[in-house]
Structure 1
Amino acid sequence: MAKASSSFVLPIIFLVMFALVEENMGCMAVLGSCGVITDCSGACKSRFGQDTLSRCDRDGGDGTCICSYPCLTDNLHM
């Protein structure tokens, strides 16, 4: 009996893990240069909502304003 119950533990762990990962995944958008957009955080929040995280990716030059926000979909997460 112990062997039968332990064979179910690993698949259950993976199912729970994938369900949590899918819930937490979001969308990303690039707004433009941080030199042109002086307030990257404000621009992201005004465009995608208050739950948006923003950062200026300093990849050379002025950098790029990147927004991370929750995806707006009609799909149910199961």
Structure 2
Amino acid sequence: MAKAASSLVFPIIFLVMFALVEQNMGCMAVLGSCGVITDCSGTCKTKFGQDASGDCDRDGGVVTCVCGYSCPSPHKLHM
């Protein structure tokens, strides 16, 4: 019986950690080329609010503007 209970400890810890990380990750959006968007950080703040941050991502040779911002709460969304 003790062995069965201990085999459930790690999956439960993993699920709890995953749930906590998912809540704090935030959202990301790709706005377009940094050649077209001259101020990536300013554009992200305008589009997603003052808590947003933006940076030009040079991954793979293509330079794109990537924004990080707080995800809207599902309780605040109204249609």
TM-score (norm 1): 0.69
For residues 5-44 of structure 1, the aligned pairs below 5 Å read 6-44=6-44
Aligned counterparts of 1:8 and 1:69: Cα–Cα separation in 2: 35
How many residues align structurally?
74
Number of the residue aligned with 2:52:
52
Q: Percent identity?
A: 72
Cα 1:11–1:41 shift into 2, 3 Å: same
Deviation at 1:73, TM superposition (A): 3.7
Deviation at 1:2, TM superposition (A): 5.4
Aligned counterparts of 1:30 and 1:7: Cα–Cα separation in 2: 41
Across the aligned residues of Structure 1 and Structure 2, the Cα RMSD in angstroms comes to 2.3
Aligned counterparts of 2:30 and 2:5: Cα–Cα separation in 1: 48
Aligned counterparts of 2:15 and 2:33: Cα–Cα separation in 1: 40
Which of the pair has the greater relative contact order for Cα pairs under 8 Å at 6+ separation? 1
Amino acid at match of 1:48: F
Amino acid at match of 1:29: A
Amino acid at match of 2:30: V
For residues 62-73 of structure 1, the aligned pairs below 5 Å read 63-73=63-73
Aligned counterparts of 1:19 and 1:52: Cα–Cα separation in 2: 23
Most deviating of 65-74 and 5-14: 5-14
Deviations 1:38-68 (A, max 9, x none): 111111011101222211012436x211112
